Amino acid sequence: MPLQYIHWNPDPVAFSLGFIHVRWYGLLFALPFAVGYYLMREMFRRENQPMQHLDTLLTYVVVSTVVGARLGHCLFYEPDVYLAEPLRILKIWEGGLASHGAGIGIIVGLLLFSRHTKISFWWVIDRLAILVGLAGLTIRTGNLFNSEIYGKPTDVPWAFIFERVDNIPRHPTQIYEAIAYFSIFLWMYGLYRQHLREGKTIKPGWMLGLLLILIFTLRILIEFLKEPQVGFEQNMILNMGQLLSIPFILAGVYLMLRKTSTNPTTN
């Protein structure tokens, strides 16, 4: 009896308002900002941070994420295309966002936020690091609705046939990553709550370091199951996503092992 694979071909448009088409990816990209705002509000309240800066933080995070993710894709994956036509960088609706670029963008954005508000960079980034896994869950689910960033051919019984791509059963790597990222979020949030209950101080940079190690080690492993995203990756032993993950992992190891003051109000 032949294997029955999962045939996948959803409409990437969630709903339309006249000529405006709202895509699942856009909704799922925005969702972690809304949920993250609520969770950060609770962190600000529990740890007596000035609540008036929370809306400012949201603005910095949204702008730095989108700009960093877009520039990261354009410069890391298709520099020849976008350097030849720089104005295409602004056409976000064409697709193309890179998580590595988003990470760099958020770091720059939080440095600016910290300078503006005088709230510790390390305090903010350690708590935002807890929420990154939640964003990974929703964004990879959005990729699933778009039938993109899919895996290599396989005969596992849970393989997906992405009908908009071809009729070949493939690893649903979007689901693998989504589940893994959500698990990281739950674990890190549990660690944070445990520290609060026990009255322990989180060493500046420790949560960020843990996140970098977990997220990017996972990224390297799952990339082995993915199809190359751009043509030049075809003959590479490690693709661009894996190569870009290595410095993030090394930075994570450094942050977790470095000796530093445990005063969370220090920049």
In a domain, 48, yes or no: yes
CA distance 5 to 212: 34
More confident site: 78 or 226: 226
What is the model's pLDDT at position 4?
Answer: 79
Q: State residue 234's pLDDT score.
A: 67
How high is the pLDDT of residue 54?
94
Its domain, for residue 192, covers 6-257
Burial of 231 (0-12, 13-18, 19+ CB in 10 A): exposed
pLDDT at 209 over 80: yes
For residue 213, report the phi and psi dihedrals to the nearest 5 degrees.
-65, -45
Q: What CA dihedral angle connects 214, 216, 221 and 225, to 10 degrees? A: 130
pLDDT band at 11 (very low <50, low <70, confident <90, very high): very high
Does residue 46 have a pLDDT over 90?
yes
In a domain, 1, yes or no: no
Short-list 202, 196, 242, CA closest to 219: 242
Q: What is the mean pLDDT of the chain?
A: 88
Q: How confident is the model at residue 266 (pLDDT cuts 50, 70, 90)?
A: very low
pLDDT tens for each residue of 170-199: 999 999 999 999 999 999 999 999 999 998
pLDDT at site 70: 84
Q: pLDDT per residue over 92-124, tens digit each? A: 666 677 777 888 899 999 999 999 999 999 999
Does the pLDDT at position 127 exceed 50?
yes
pLDDT of res. 19: 83
Domain membership flag for residue 265 = no
Is 252's pLDDT higher than 60?
yes
136-170 pLDDT tens trace:
999 999 999 999 989 999 999 999 999 999 999 99
> Does 213 have pLDDT greater than 60?
yes
Instruction: Determine the pLDDT at residue 1.
Output: 39
State residue 160's pLDDT score: 96
**230 within some domain:** yes
Give the least confident one: 4-8, 23-27, 114-118, 228-232. 228-232
| pLDDT reported for residue 45 | 94
How many CA atoms lie within 13 Å of 45's alpha carbon, on the beta-carbon side? 6
Burial of 219 (0-12, 13-18, 19+ CB in 10 A): buried
Is residue 262 included in any domain, yes or no? no
Considering the chain, what percentage of its residues have pLDDT values greater than 90? Answer: 64
Residue 85, pLDDT > 90, answer no
Q: How many domains does the chain have?
A: 1
